[in-house]
Amino acid sequence: MASMTSYESNINKVNESAFDRVFMMGNTAFLTIITVIILLPLIFIIAASFSSAEAVIAGRVTLWPVDFSLLGYETIFEHKKVWNGFANSLFYTFFGTIFNVVMTVIAAYPLSRQDLIGRRVITIAFVFTMLFSGGLIPTYMVVRDLGLLNTRWAMILPTGIGPFNLLITITFFRTTIPPELIEAARIDGASDFRTFRSIILPLARPIIAVLALFYAVNTHWNTYFQALIYLKDQDLFPLQIVLREILIQNSIDASMLIDIEDLVAREGLRELLKYSLIVVASVPVMIIYPFVQKHFVKGMMIGSVK
Amino acid sequence: MPYQVKRKGKSAERWGKFWLRIRRNWQLYALLALPLIWLVVFRYAPMYGAQIAFRQYSPAFGIEGSPWVGLANFERFLNSPKFEPVIINTLVLSFYSLIAGFPIPILLALSLNQVRARMFRNSVQMITYAPHFISTVVIVGMLFQFLHPRVGFTASLAQLLGQSPPNWMGDPGAFRHIFVWSGVWQETGFSAIIYLAVLSTVDPALHEAAVVDGANRLQRIRYIDIPGLLPTAMVLLVLSTGRVLEVAFEKVYLMQSPLNLGVAEVINTYVYKVGLLSPILDFSYSTAIGLLKGIVGLILLIAVNYAARRMTDNSVW
């Protein structure tokens, strides 16, 4: 992409027609509008979360905090359920991601080897699950019959291997590891286990980073459905389920609002709390996001090579 | 040497080689073992269990012990008053999302690809990708707050303009628009990544030649960039058409309320409610509906892929 940019600037220094200049202005305007549209709701939520309950309930907040206050955040930090959900989500994300990445890598490496008999059939067996599945209830029955219902295992084991992630990992191995390297290791007397551990894994670091991100964010941190069907016990709930109770079902522990006698103020705090919660829940991903953005992009590109 | 088969004819020799290759790679198969067990247990065992769609499942008898009922569960769904609205809602939401959500990322990618200023380009990318990383629960929570008739942004704005605040979240007529356009808001930037990647592989010589021939930027987009994107766009279109019956369960379910259920009940949410939420759980019936959806979806995907290959030479397989 860098080379493209330099050649572009070379051309455009020489001939930039009037039409092109106008076109580029329109283009910039278009991108600016899109960016603003995407930013607007985010700014509103953040602004409201730092406003006072009275300003929120009166609908006076637009794009800047009104009567700056941290009350919403203070209330959240006292909410045990939210913290419990946070801790559970961290647990599921951490161990779940390790499980996903290990499974994907140990499946992808053999399947990337051209000399493996049965490689095509097994790959197709994995990819087929992308197109067709037994369905919600039969999957639920398997989890139930294994005795995983209402345990932490139910949040980890069924996620296993994402076929798309498997495909990009296979593609990665096939395109970045020359067969000669593996052949050389074999001639030097290395077993496949040894080759995998000492040569493949160190080279796989970039794809492992991409996989970890995909799985952590898409499969674990941001999902709630798995927990919705497999978990009953409140203590096991991940953050997203707690968020659902508060943000969507509007059920807020009344004891949190008890200090406030005025009905309107109480209603205001109820809403204010939601704004702050939205911010708090998104902060972990948003903090790491700028650092990992380019890895995601790389992952998408590997996926598009196919 | 483990391989010492005497001349026993060609086929025996081939078998010997075959086994040798498998034996030589046994450690690779050992690595694959765990993933394969997982695949069978968590993906293929449910496919086997899906046979309860053709039985009247009762926990007392188990999967194999429950009596066969043929297609009764499927007929029940096809004749149920729920059938028509659920199918229509699913298709309308899907195609609306597809029509709105498909061209905009392409437009964004083409437009971003023109930008040379690195700072501007990177900031636009960073900001437009960001909503993808917000969870569905938070997105729907944001919708509720943003469009809240009293404390929402739309309410504040209406107040500033001296209008009465709208209550879109409570309006069944607005459900589809809110669902689709919030999806566009969330995914446009991220969907554009793949097109940007493809655009970066377009041969610069094409652009140079076009510039020499006096083509302006718009003409270069029209005759170089868009044709370059077409194969990728086609593949993605085929894939999403094959998934029209799979409306994002998580988001629809969160956005449902007693008010909008008439337009918001889709196949996936109905399967969930029949199977796991209703007072009398009906595993067989729910599985039958899910299976029907899965099979129709698979046929659809194969058909669309076939059509795409015949018409444009671009297909998934």
Q: What is the pLDDT of residues B66-83, one digit of tens each?
A: 999 999 999 999 999 999
Tokens of A224: 């709630």
Cβ-nearest to A134 among B50, B165, B232: B50
Q: What is the pLDDT of residues B251-273, one digit of tens each?
A: 999 999 888 999 999 999 999 99
| Sequence-separated (6 or more) residues with CB below 8 Å from residue A10 | none
| Residue pLDDT tens, chain A, 306 long | 444 444 455 555 555 788 888 999 999 999 999 999 999 999 999 999 999 888 888 888 888 888 888 888 888 888 888 999 999 999 999 999 999 999 999 999 999 998 899 999 999 999 999 888 999 999 999 999 999 999 999 999 999 999 989 999 999 999 888 888 998 998 998 899 999 999 999 999 888 988 998 899 889 999 899 999 999 999 999 999 999 998 988 877 666 665 666 677 777 888 888 999 999 988 888 887 777 777 777 776 766 654
Q: Of the ranges A6-15, A262-271, B35-44, B220-229, which one carries the lowest mean pLDDT score? A: A6-15
Do residues B165 and B149 touch, judged by C-beta distance below 8 A? yes
> Of B104, B105, B116, whose CA–CA distance to B217 is shortest?
B116
State the smallest CA–CA distance between residue A255 and chain B in angstroms: 22
Do residues A290 and B125 touch, judged by C-beta distance below 8 A? no
Tokens of B74: 């499927």
The sign one gets for the Cα dihedral B156, B158, B162, B165 is: negative
The DSSP 8-state label assigned to residue A66 in this structure reads S
The residues pairing with B68 across neighbouring beta strands, listed in sequence order, are B55
Q: What is the pLDDT of residues B83-98, one digit of tens each?
A: 999 999 999 999 999 9
Banded model confidence at residue B11, pLDDT cuts 50, 70, 90: confident
What are the helix (H) ranges across A15-79?
A: 18-49, 53-57, 71-77
Burial-class residue B76 by CB neighbours within 10 Å (0-12, 13-18, 19+). Answer: middle
Instruction: Quote the CA–CA distance of B183 and B156 in Å, as a whole number.
Output: 23
Kindly determine whether residue B111 and residue A31, on different chains, have CB atoms separated by under 8 Å.
Answer: yes
Report the pLDDT value the prediction gives residue A15, as an integer from 0 to 100.
Answer: 56
Instruction: Quote the CA–CA distance of A181 and A199 in Å, as a whole number.
Output: 9
Report the pLDDT value the prediction gives residue A57, as an integer from 0 to 100.
Answer: 82
Cα distances from B6 to residues A162, B17, B243, in angstroms, run 46, 12, 55
Contacts of B216 in chain A (CB under 8 A): 17, 19-20, 23
| Sequence-separated (6 or more) residues with CB below 8 Å from residue A201 | A105
| Mutation to test the A interface, candidates B121, B154, B156, most A Cβ within 10 Å | B156
> What are the phi and psi torsion angles at B29 (to 5°)?
-65, -35
The DSSP 8-state label assigned to residue B68 in this structure reads B
State the smallest CA–CA distance between residue A20 and chain B in angstroms: 6
Instruction: Quote the CA–CA distance of B180 and A33 in Å, as a whole number.
Output: 19
> What are the phi and psi torsion angles at B68 (to 5°)?
-70, 140
> Of B226, B201, B223, whose CA–CA distance to B210 is shortest?
B223
Instruction: Quote the CA–CA distance of B187 and B175 in Å, as a whole number.
Output: 18
Instruction: Quote the CA–CA distance of B145 and B132 in Å, as a whole number.
Output: 19
Q: What is the pLDDT of residues B166-198, one digit of tens each?
A: 888 888 999 999 999 999 999 999 899 889 988
Tokens 């504040």 correspond to: B156
Q: Residue window 92-111, chain A: list those with CB within 8 Å of chain B.
A: 103-104, 106-107, 109-111
- Residue B102 confidence (pLDDT) above 50: yes
For chain A, state the CA radius of gyration: 25
Tokens of A104: 């994907």
What are the helix (H) ranges across chain B?
A: 10-24, 26-39, 45-49, 62-65, 72-79, 83-101, 103-114, 118-129, 136-146, 153-160, 172-199, 204-212, 217-220, 226-242, 249-255, 261-264, 267-272, 283-312
State the smallest CA–CA distance between residue A1 and chain B in angstroms: 6
The residues pairing with B55 across neighbouring beta strands, listed in sequence order, are B68
Tokens 């629960």 correspond to: B137
* Crossing angle of the two packed helices A119-131 and B26-39, in degrees rounded to 10: 20
Percent of chain B with pLDDT over 90: 53
Tokens 């991940």 correspond to: A238
- Residue B4 confidence (pLDDT) above 60: no
Instruction: Tell whether A237 lies on the interface with B, counting CB pairs under 8 A.
Output: no
- Residue B52 confidence (pLDDT) above 60: yes
Burial-class residue B297 by CB neighbours within 10 Å (0-12, 13-18, 19+). Answer: buried
| Sequence-separated (6 or more) residues with CB below 8 Å from residue B250 | A223, A224, A225, B136, B137
**If DSSP codes are grouped into helix, strand and coil, which group holds residue B258?**
coil
Report the pLDDT value the prediction gives residue A4, as an integer from 0 to 100.
Answer: 46
Determine the length of chain A: 306
Do residues B282 and B297 touch, judged by C-beta distance below 8 A? no
Instruction: Quote the CA–CA distance of A164 and B127 in Å, as a whole number.
Output: 25
Cβ atoms within 10 Å of B84's Cβ, excluding its own: 10
Instruction: Quote the CA–CA distance of A174 and A115 in Å, as a whole number.
Output: 12
Kindly determine whether residue B134 and residue A129, on different chains, have CB atoms separated by under 8 Å.
Answer: no
Contacts of B192 in chain A (CB under 8 A): none
Contacts of A293 in chain B (CB under 8 A): 125-126, 129
Contacts of A61 in chain B (CB under 8 A): 151, 153, 156
**Residue B162 backbone class (left: φ over 0; alpha: ψ -120 to 50; beta: rest):** left
Report the pLDDT value the prediction gives residue A258, as an integer from 0 to 100.
Answer: 59
Banded model confidence at residue B151, pLDDT cuts 50, 70, 90: confident
Report the pLDDT value the prediction gives residue B317, as an integer from 0 to 100.
Answer: 64
Tokens of A43: 């700014």
Instruction: Quote the CA–CA distance of A109 and A193 in Å, as a whole number.
Output: 11
- Residue B105 confidence (pLDDT) above 90: yes
Report the pLDDT value the prediction gives residue B100, as an integer from 0 to 100.
Answer: 94
What is chain B's mean pLDDT, rounded? 89
Cα distances from A85 to residues A246, A251, A288, in angstroms, run 12, 15, 20
Cβ-nearest to A142 among B30, B46, B298: B46
